[in-house]
Copies of this chain bind each other. A is one copy, B any other.
């Protein structure tokens, strides 16, 4: 191993020396061979364009021996520009790791679950309920597994997947799929929605304020949410206390449409009184 270190160190010095030599160029155009930095640039270009290359190919393409290519690749790998594998080299991008980043769900899971459970307790076994998008409402959806006399209407893809074939009769409103909220929203959702009516709607909201009512970040989302509010006899808003008093971009419903708010114990008492004055029953789970 010490031998290897020594070798690498020498190699490093060589690198610098060569670079310096680079700007003192003699116009020696007769050299049939690339200088080392040029050669490495060509290797990078080849590897990047093809995503991978085998030693043999590079050796032929550059007109040098495989040993030289190896040394170049060692250097390039040390700089993190490529990744050596048995038999050749692959571009760094091609790593097989896990690129997903969608794991914020477990955040306030426990709180959401208490809220969800309290809301679900309001349902009768043979009710018809609308489930909006959003993580808190999704938690409620999970609790409805096995309720085989229930009818669920929803626009939330996770809720659909959660309940598909697992008890409740499942009705999906149509619409355009929006990736951010994983829900079906927009003008197209009105066609089916206008033809149905549900006893209870579980609504989630990005933000709730006394002045602006329900607000959310996306117009299409707001459109569908508003429509859903109108199609329910009883509207139950599921929102943890951090969402209270906040407001977002687009108006998504009047506070007057809401009959019940299920939230957590962290809610401000002043807000509770204001809401109750407006005829909203507040339940702290």
Contacts and interface: CB of A to CB of B under 8 A. Distances in A.
B182 A177 contact: no
A246 to B, nearest CB: 26
Contacts of A277: none
Interface stretch (A123-131, A134-142, A157-165): A157-165
A171 B189 CA distance: 10
B171 A174 contact: yes
A76 to B, nearest CB: 8
A12 interface: no
A172 B188 CA distance: 9
A258 to B, nearest CB: 25
Interface in A150-181: 157, 160-161, 164-165, 169-177, 179
Contacts of A194: 191
B173 A60 contact: no
A24 B66 CA distance: 14
Which of the four size classes fits the interface of chain A? 35 or more
A269 interface: no
Number of this chain's copies in the complex: 2
A94 B100 contact: yes
A41 interface: yes
Interface stretch (A29-37, A108-116, A205-213, A231-239): A29-37
Contacts of A177: 160, 164-165, 169-172
Nearest to A2: B94
A40 interface: yes
Nearest to A171: B176
Interface in A12-55: 19, 22, 24-25, 27, 29, 32-33, 35-38, 40-41, 44, 51-52, 54
Given A96-B40, A165-B179, A22 B56 contact: yes
A22 to B, nearest CB: 7
A110 B9 CA distance: 54
Given A96-B40, A161-B161, A22 B59 contact: yes
Contact of A32 (B22, B57, B192): B57
B171 A172 contact: no
A184 interface: yes
Contacts of A25: 60
A29 B51 CA distance: 15
A121 interface: no
Given A38-B51, A165-B177, 4 more contacts: A38-B90, A160-B160, A174-B175, A191-B195
29 contacts: A22-B56, A22-B59, A22-B66, A25-B60, A29-B54, A29-B56, A29-B57, A33-B54, A35-B54, A35-B86, A36-B85, A37-B90, A37-B94, A41-B94, A157-B161, A160-B160, A161-B161, A164-B179, A171-B177, A172-B174, A172-B176, A173-B174, A174-B175, A174-B189, A175-B192, A188-B195, A188-B196, A191-B194, A192-B192
